[in-house]
Amino acid sequence: MNYDLVIVGAGPSGIFTALELIKKKYDTKILLIEKGTSIEKRHCPKEELFKCVSCKPYCHITTGFSGAGAFSDGKLSLSPEVGGELPNLIGEKFAQEMINYTDNIYLEFGADENVEGLENTEEIKDIRRKSIEAGLKLVDCPIRHLGTEKAQEIYYKIQQYLVQSGVEIMFDTLVEDLIIEDDNIKGIITIDSKRKKSTEKILSDKVIIAAGRKGADWLKNMCIKHNISHKSGTVDIGVRVEVRNEVMEKVNNVLYESKLIGYPSPFRDKVRTFCQNPGGFVSQENYDDNLAIVNGHSYKDKKSNNTNLAILSSHNFIEPFNQPIEYGKKVSQLVNMLGDGNILVQRYGDILDGKRTWQEELSRSNVNPTLPDAVAGDITSAIPYRPMLNILQFIESLNVVVPGFASRETLLYGPEVKFYSNKIKLDDNFMTNVKGLYALGDSSGWTRGLMMASVMGVIMARKIA
């Protein structure tokens, strides 16, 4: 089969590439390939069974049309200060212009018009003052919250629009390899992702890799195999923290999401908050090799009594070790091992006391876990000393901004690890050193999150239209 353009991955960057090409009336044959299924067929059994059943051949939360975006809390960060390093490649002013443009597309497909974090300026000043006192930086970032259930509706509308506009979408299809000859892309080799047979060649002299965070490891392997220029980036090791809504009430009401950055002693590594979910739910994502990773989401209508957020410690490796994705996997495997394949949860006070948490202790707590099958245990036995100390120091600093955050009953879930550490070397057109081969989104190492991945897709389309 021959196509003018093949897009590998139906996450935000791949979707918005196709969407913008339609808007620009790019009259060519486009194929969008997705390892998972269409969005209306994506379903997590945990909603009925209240426990993860390790769906095969892939996890529906991380795989399928719109990627992990459909099952995330659906927050669009409307500032170039958030979402990765794409502004370093395209310029901060242009990045903001493209955020505004892309945000309007989301509005066209039904996103909530309300933007969080624009008002209550005196209250924001008070939070910033406390942040400065604690040695933390508060990042101003307006948030448009889609909500998990609303995000699925929005992406379903986009999926239907693409199909009706003539974009061919091939679901349940895994890209097994790239076809590269004389440093030119010639196409891809695919296989049925469910049956793992019937390989097929698809030819194109333009291929865009938009494999998402889940595809970062696969893309790294392709880089090694085909000499695609790349370098090791940052790996984020962390936990998801859960507290009662009452503790986070002011920050939730004023900012919705508090994006805070610190460099705690003694190591001075970058530590940050990420993906805050007022009234949200802690969730589980399954990656390849049976890795269980903790995450969080929030709905527009359904609310819990808790707020959860990630605290991530950033680490770089140069030499002699330069495999940050593998490092993150090993940490995750250790935590999973202690939880017998499940997410671990531990009370902050038990960590300070040097003891594990027991299930009966959780049942007496003011903070009831929103992840019902999380296993009480000891995450400090698996997360390395340096990131663990960074996290604990950061929690103490955050307690200055949010009194009660460092309560003994505060829950820490692990592992929360972000697999986007491989960074592809790109030119100004997002092309790799292989002619006709482009890389976008979180798997490229240049973006983090829905908005910036979507923006990169829009720009990609304009460059080739």
What confidence tens digit (pLDDT) does each residue in 284-301 have? 998 887 899 999 988 888
- For residue 50, tell me if it sits in a domain: yes
Q: Residues 445-453: what's their mean pLDDT? A: 93
Same domain, 309 and 374: yes
Q: What is the pLDDT of residues 168-226, one digit of tens each?
A: 999 999 999 999 999 999 999 999 987 777 789 999 999 999 999 889 889 999 999 99
Both structure tokens of 97: 């212009």
Helix axis angle, 245-254 to 121-133, nearest 10°: 120
Taking the C-alpha atoms of residue 294 and residue 414, their distance in angstroms, rounded to an integer, is 6
Same domain, 428 and 457: yes
Same domain, 173 and 294: no
Question: Confidence class of residue 451 from pLDDT cuts 50, 70 and 90?
Answer: very high
Give the three-class secondary structure for 411.
strand
What percent of the chain shows pLDDT beyond 90?
A: 77
Q: Kindly give the pairing relationship between strand 200-203 and strand 184-192.
A: antiparallel
> Hey, CA dihedral for 322, 325, 330, 332, is it positive or negative?
positive
CB 198 within 8 A of CB 192: yes
The strand pairing partners of 174, in sequence order, are 191
Q: What is the pLDDT of residues 51-83, one digit of tens each?
A: 788 788 888 888 899 988 767 778 899 999 999
- CATH code of residue 223: 3.50.50.60
Taking the C-alpha atoms of residue 268 and residue 97, their distance in angstroms, rounded to an integer, is 33
Cα separations in angstroms, 23 against 5, 306, 450: 16, 41, 20
Domain boundary at 381, 396, 418, which?
Answer: 418
Question: Confidence class of residue 121 from pLDDT cuts 50, 70 and 90?
Answer: confident
> Hey, CA dihedral for 271, 272, 278, 284, is it positive or negative?
negative
Same domain, 263 and 199: no
Taking the C-alpha atoms of residue 8 and residue 404, their distance in angstroms, rounded to an integer, is 45
Taking the C-alpha atoms of residue 361 and residue 68, their distance in angstroms, rounded to an integer, is 33
Same domain, 27 and 154: yes
Domain boundary at 402, 418, 434, which?
Answer: 418
Same domain, 407 and 286: yes
Same domain, 206 and 61: yes
Average pLDDT score, the chain: 93
CB 213 within 8 A of CB 421: no
Cα separations in angstroms, 250 against 118, 120, 246: 15, 11, 8
- For residue 116, tell me if it sits in a domain: no
Q: What is the DSSP code string of 147-169?
A: -HHHHHHHHHHHHHHHHHTT-EE
Taking the C-alpha atoms of residue 106 and residue 117, their distance in angstroms, rounded to an integer, is 18
Same domain, 408 and 333: yes
Both structure tokens of 364: 């007496």
Q: What is the pTM of this model?
A: 0.89
- For residue 16, tell me if it sits in a domain: yes
CB 242 within 8 A of CB 369: yes
Taking the C-alpha atoms of residue 369 and residue 317, their distance in angstroms, rounded to an integer, is 34
Residues constituting the chain:
465
Candidate from 119-123, 272-276, 459-463 with smallest mean pLDDT: 119-123
Quickly count: other Cβ atoms within 10 Å of residue 101's Cβ.
13
Cα separations in angstroms, 119 against 28, 100, 141, 333: 45, 19, 12, 43
Taking the C-alpha atoms of residue 303 and residue 252, their distance in angstroms, rounded to an integer, is 13
* Residue 421: predicted pLDDT: 64
Same domain, 202 and 92: yes
Phi/psi for 229 (5° steps) reads: -65, 130
Same domain, 291 and 436: no
- For residue 70, tell me if it sits in a domain: yes
Q: What is the DSSP code string of 224-268?
A: HHHT--EEE-EEEEEEEEEEEHHHHHHHHHHTSS-EEEE--TTT-
Taking the C-alpha atoms of residue 445 and residue 124, their distance in angstroms, rounded to an integer, is 31
Q: For residue 30, is pLDDT > 70?
A: yes
Give the chain's domain count.
2
Same domain, 210 and 263: no
* Residue 271: predicted pLDDT: 98
* Residue 372: predicted pLDDT: 92
Candidate from 114-118, 195-199, 278-282, 440-444 with smallest mean pLDDT: 195-199
Quickly count: other Cβ atoms within 10 Å of residue 300's Cβ.
15
Q: What is the pLDDT of residues 13-23, one digit of tens each?
A: 999 999 999 99
- For residue 327, tell me if it sits in a domain: yes
- For residue 39, tell me if it sits in a domain: yes
| DSSP-H helix ranges across 134-215 | 148-164
CB 357 within 8 A of CB 350: yes
Same domain, 457 and 335: no
Q: What is the pLDDT of residues 132-161, one digit of tens each?
A: 999 999 998 999 999 878 899 999 999 999
Under the phi-then-psi rule, with left for phi > 0, alpha for psi from -120 to 50, and beta for the rest, what region is 441?
left
Q: What is the pLDDT of residues 306-331, one digit of tens each?
A: 999 999 999 988 788 878 888 999 99
Both structure tokens of 137: 């930086």
Domain that holds residue 155: 5-111+147-231+423-464
* Residue 420: predicted pLDDT: 66
On the question of a cis peptide bond just before residue 415, with omega within 30 degrees of 0, the verdict is: yes
